[in-house]
Structure 1
């Protein structure tokens, strides 16, 4: 081929074809364009130098030297061999693409065998670098001579006719057919994939094997703003996904109709400033013009043929991802329906308003994965809204927050009866207020809460845990829960009133303690539980000493006050799990779950001693000058396996304590069963 005639070739195809020849294997190759700069690269960057590499051997002035040699090669329309300042051999070979735009092939990364030690020592001294490390790195580079480089150039010119003849195009056609057949054969395997991860794994493996692409990612659109999320598949951090800014996302979203988008240099850095990349091929994943995402291929220049073949793969992958997404949505919808039924069932089992309201807020926040939520109800006059249940809010603040009907967002929703979905509180013209500091995101939901077609309050939800905005789908998801909850409001109130009546029927009117009816029920429950779990429990039967004398001297009103005070002391001394009841008259009973004989004795002694020290009105009229109690103790299962047996045992122990002088405790002993009760 004449030196003054530029040959014509596709830059990327030329680079890939030349790379197959063994005589070019030691070299690092790159193609530059006068219009676009670096077009394609094959080799190790840290072994390149000058304008297209990052070799640590490069000196000041390398770029200038390269520019001069490239300009001369283009001007003379022939290849040039030259040394860089560090002694590396390079050559530049100009050519043109099919549109007659000038390109040049650069090759380098080879040390010149003619470079002497004195030159290397000068470099080491001038650059003030570690000489031993420098020489080690130098020796690792492949070496050649200028004559050998000239032979390489002659070989390139020798194979260039093959690139232009029918044999070359036949090979290209054969390679293209092979790639298309491979992609086609992958179709059934893609269709069999069960999960998105399976599809992504297959995509990554295919691109790596067929096209040797080092770094791959997928960009997913998310939210109403259609911001993109980058998720690394290969060669990138597979940890947390990276959210692109609105501007970067907009650049790509506006060009989603293009078959492929190629970005380089500053334009690429402006979109992905956190990635060390110089080249990006971005292909949209579209199904019926519906964007599923973008396939991002970094640091590998692709020929137009390869891009077209990858487009075929993208089309198949996009279709599968869309089908998997629809299947997942159907499964999620089915799961939400089951979840909703479960929530409604659990709400129906809550028997008081406080638990009902709190349960509703907890279920709504769970349903939409919200970090904060509150339920506000109108007061009896239907003038003010107050928070009755909340999540993620300070309880004291929640209790004190009240809104007039029509005031604020919640007040407006009560009046209009329409839900309000806000994506951005600062941009929404209906609200248009600054972001509230106590909220993490700018999106929220406010829905009217109805019972029997009457608005009784609002449900507020904010701060999605993943940081995204609430959607219309979220609104449609939570509305059925509110509708069902509204139908259960009256039932919860009815149950609460019934529970209150039941509680009143199980309480002693004078002391406020539970009564004998409640004690019988609790004893049966504790017997069943302790029997199943093989636990102990104890029964304390208490009686006020000389209480008839106290009533006779001080009057029944003073006696009632003494009973109330004693009840308060017993309740204060008991654990939360214990049951304190008025057994009858001046007798009391305390049930101690999971408590054996010795711990029960210690509890009883503490109670006895505490009452002995407590002052009572005119107690000096009693023998000993103080109001005291006696306590009998029985323990399950040692002293009985039924309520009647345990109460009888405690009663015998109590009378033994009385018989022994009062103001004392007595554990039941089997011998007490044979003794006659002589105390009256």
Structure 2
């Protein structure tokens, strides 16, 4: 009986030893499988990061606005890393601005100020990422509404200047482990680069716009008469050439001259004569239709171009202007003959009167002379 008990004890010991060996073997295999899975996960993340960086480089090379670039990059990040939310916020002089996000529009305002919240502020100031996670939804504005349980915020710095933040969020806990943080840090630098390039682009656009405005002002000044502000004679010839070259419709011109202008200059001086020219130019300009143009032809003569206007309509407008000048009280006009300052006008039209610029001007000038000869203060259109 004792021998049987010894045999049973020995067999039991052997069984225990075998069980221990088997358990040890299983633990080793499980550990190995976990290591393989871990390595596979990291390799997958590395592969995804490389792929994302390649896609980002393609986007950076596209000639699209920087805002669109950030939106496309953000979409790639959400899809590649399979996360619930990604938001890119830029710090500007006017405050934080969302440049890209998939957070519902009614909750976006709560995201804007998260870099100043108790959870994230210290990390933002010290320029290191802040990762928070939990079994329940996180306790910061809008997290509860979206059931956010993992959040990783990167401050965006460029040359020691805080430029905003990048917030990644997920509805699962423990989404952003240390490996993910490392990979995402690489991508974060490219996001900062896009924001910086956007600054350069905006500055360039602003400078270009300022230059265009300045060029337009210079061009405008080059086309204007320095005294009266009306368009000058050179620009008149340019516009008339354009009209005759590209328009087969009726176009009319009116040449007008101040009656007894020499008398006005002689009695009141050339400075008052110049003031009169400026006042008359403004008065005529205020009387023109939107598409009409006033030119100073020389001395006291002005030309009006009536585009797409038949002669009878041009004569009607010229009559209205003549009457307005006659009714206006100019300084020292009582010293003029008849105690009034007036104008005479000659009108000609194309193609009725002429089909060539120079001949049209000659006909209008002949009719102006006729108006002068017939007693002045009148419009002649035929």
Which TM-score applies when normalising by structure 1?
0.31
- Provide the rounded CA distance (Å) in 2 between the counterparts of 1:665 and 1:481: 60
Work out which of the residue numbers 340, 363, 380 in structure 2 matches 1:626.
340
Q: Helix, strand or coil for the counterpart of 2:241?
A: helix
The answer to whether the 8 A contact 2:346-2:364 is kept is yes
Are residue 430 (structure 1) and residue 94 (structure 2) matched? no
1:484 is displaced (CA, Å) by 4.3
What CA deviation, in whole Å up to 9, does each residue of 1:409-454 have, x standing for no partner?
98x524999986575212452367999xxxxxxxxxxxx9xxxx9x
- How many residue pairs match? The answer is 241
Cα distance between partner residues in 2 of 1:635 and 1:497: 36
Q: Which residue of 1 aligns with 2:374?
A: 660
Q: Which has the higher contact order (CA 8 A, sep 6+)?
A: 2
**Hey, what does 2:327 align to over in structure 1?**
613
Report what 2:92 is aligned to.
Answer: 413
Cα distance 1:667–1:420, how it changes in 2: closer, same or farther (>3 A)? closer
8 Å Cα contact 1:425/1:434 also seen in 2: no
Give CA-to-partner distance per residue, 1:584-625, whole Å, 9 cap, x none. 110001111111011101100100000000001121121111
> What are the Cα deviations for residues 155-214 of structure 1, in whole angstroms up to 9, with x where unaligned?
xxxxxxxxxxxxxxxxxxxxxxxxxxxxxxxxxxxxxxxxxxxxxxxxxxxxxxxxxxxx
Q: Verify: 1:518 aligned to 2:235, yes or no.
A: yes
Structure 1: runs of 5+ lacking an equivalent: 1-329, 345-359, 369-408, 436-447, 456-471, 669-680
Q: What is the SS of the residue equivalent to 1:430?
A: helix
Q: 3-state SS of the aligned residue for 1:426?
A: helix
- In 1, the alpha carbon distance for the partners of 2:346 and 2:355 equals 17
2:305 match = 591
CA contact (8 A) 1:425 1:431 kept: no
Q: Pick from 529, 548, 554 the counterpart of residue 262 of structure 2.
A: 548
**Corresponding residue of 1:566:** 280
Higher strand share: 1
Q: Determine the structure 1 residue equivalent to 2:214.
A: 497
CA distance in 2, matches of 1:601, 1:415: 56
Say if 1:475 and 1:613 are closer, same or farther in 2 by CA, change over 3 A.
farther
For the Cα contact (< 8 Å) 1:514–1:582, is it kept in 2?
A: yes
Change in Cα spacing, 1:560 to 1:415, as seen in structure 2 (3 Å) is closer
Structure 2 Cα separation of the partners of residues 434 and 546 of structure 1: 81
Name 2:175's counterpart in structure 1: none
Aligned to 1:506: 223
Q: Note if contact 2:111-2:141 (Cα within 8 Å) is conserved in structure 1.
A: no
Q: Could you say if the C-alpha distance between residues 641 and 485 of structure 1 is closer, same or farther in structure 2, counting changes exceeding 3 Å?
A: farther
Partners of 2:292 and 2:306 within 8 A in 1: yes
Contact 1:413 1:420 in 2 (8 A): no
Q: Partners in 1 of 2:192 and 2:289 — Cα distance?
A: 45
The change in CA–CA distance for 1:479 and 1:526 in structure 2 (over 3 A counts) is: farther
* TM-score normalised by length of structure 2: 0.53
CA RMSD of aligned residues (A): 4.4
1:654 and 1:666, CA in 2 relative to 1: closer, same or farther beyond 3 A?
same
- The corresponding residue for 1:139 is none
Match of 2:245 in 1: 528
Residues 135-160 of structure 1, C-alpha deviations (whole Å, 9 max, x = no match): xxxxxxxxxxxxxxxxxxxxxxxxxx
Dislocated runs of 4+, deviation >4 Å: 414-423, 431-435, 474-485
